[in-house]
Amino acid sequence: MNILLVEDDIRTAQFITKGLAQAGFAVRHAADGEEGLQRALMESYDAAVIDIMLPGLDGLELVHRLRRKKSLTPVIVPSAKGSVDDRIKGLQAGGDDYLVKPFAFSELLTRIQALIRRANRSPEPTAISVGHLSIDLVKRKVFREEREIELQPREFSLLEYLMRNAGRVVSKTMIIEHVWDYQFDPHTNIVEARMCRLRDKVDRPFDRKLIHTVRGVGYLLEEKT
């Protein structure tokens, strides 16, 4: 999988490149809009991350021209502006997704992977498994080591979100946003409390723990060796 990154801020470009490389992507960086457009048209990418504020050709115009040339590369637009208007402009220009700066890197990664999956028309999985833990997304059942685990609907949604992002850190904000569809920053331990109940059912009876806390960042579901 290779990604085109068009970003004029070198430090931002460095951390995105580093993060994406860690996640197994090959990243090509273009520092301005013109170069970005040339590369996007000449070379083939699985997805592109295009910043809006660019010297010369700006990000929206770049995406617009890309779409006029019939390029179908999925594009995600990170921008410092967060108003609804700007999102709409970004999407109207032909962007596939929009991300407000500053963003959590894990969020960017999740969205890039989702875009690529959508672009490749990967069928929605009906079941996901990590190690001996598997969930049936159709029947909404959870099994670990052949034993069925009873979960409340919210706990199931939470586990499903962790499983879909297995191997990646998801932040508390992302969890609240995706599992509860809320956008706010709690000062009580609402996510921790829910996670604790989920762990009691999914992890506690077993030797190998799958759900890990990453201090300050969020949670991670993976089978650590």
Partner 1 sequence: MLRTLTARLTLWHTAIFAALSVLLFGLVCLALKTNLRARTDEELRNESGEFEKLYHRDGIEALRSEFRTEAESEGFKRVFFRFFSAGGEQLLASDMSAWGGLDAPPPAAASLPPGESLLATATLPGRSHGARVIYRKSGGGGLIQIGVTTEDDDHLLAHIHKVFGATIAVMLFFGGAAGYFIARKAMRGVEGVTETAVRIGRGDFTHRVPLAGKGLEIDNLSRAFNDMLERIQALVEEIKGVTDTIAHDLRSPITRIRGIAETTLTGAQRMDDYRQMAGIVIEECDQMVHMINTMLEIAQADSGVAVFARAPVDLARLAADACDLFHPAAEDRKIRLEIDGTGAPVFALGDSTRLQRVIANLLDNAVKFTAPGGEVVLSIRATSTDALLSLRDSGAGIDGGDISRIFDRFYRGDRSRSTPGNGLGLSFALAIVRAHGGDIAVESSPGKGSTFTVRLPRIPTPPDYQKVISR
Query: Interface with partner 1 includes 38 (CB under 8 A)?
Result: no
Query: Is 31 an interacting residue with respect to partner 1 (CB under 8 A)?
Result: no
CB of 25 to partner 1, least distance (A): 21
Pairing of strands 47-50, 75-79: parallel
Residue 188 interacts with partner 1 (CB under 8 A): yes or no: yes
**Closer Cβ to partner 1, 72 or 196, answer by number:** 196
The minimum distance between CB 76 and partner 1, in angstroms, equals: 19
184 binds partner 1 (CB under 8 A): yes
Q: Quick one: 57 or 217, whose CB is closer to partner 1?
A: 217
Answer yes or no whether residue 92 interacts with partner 1 by CB under 8 A: no
Q: Is 216 in the site for partner 1 (CB under 8 A)?
A: yes
Q: Please tell me the chain's helix, strand, coil percentages from 3-state DSSP, rounded to the nearest 5.
A: 40, 20, 40
- Answer yes or no whether residue 84 interacts with partner 1 by CB under 8 A: yes
Secondary structure class of 99 (helix, strand, coil): strand
Contact between 11 and 5 under an 8 Å Cβ cutoff? The reply is no
Q: Are 3 and 28 in contact (CB under 8 A)?
A: yes
Helix (H, G, I), strand (E, B) or coil at 31: coil
CA atoms of 215 and 225, how far apart (whole Å): 20
By CB under 8 A, tell whether 113 contacts partner 1.
no
Q: Alpha-carbon torsion 15, 20, 23, 24, what sign?
A: negative
- The residues that touch partner 1, with contacts defined as CB under 8 A, are 82-85, 102, 104, 154, 171, 173, 176, 180, 182-190, 192-194, 196-197, 214-217
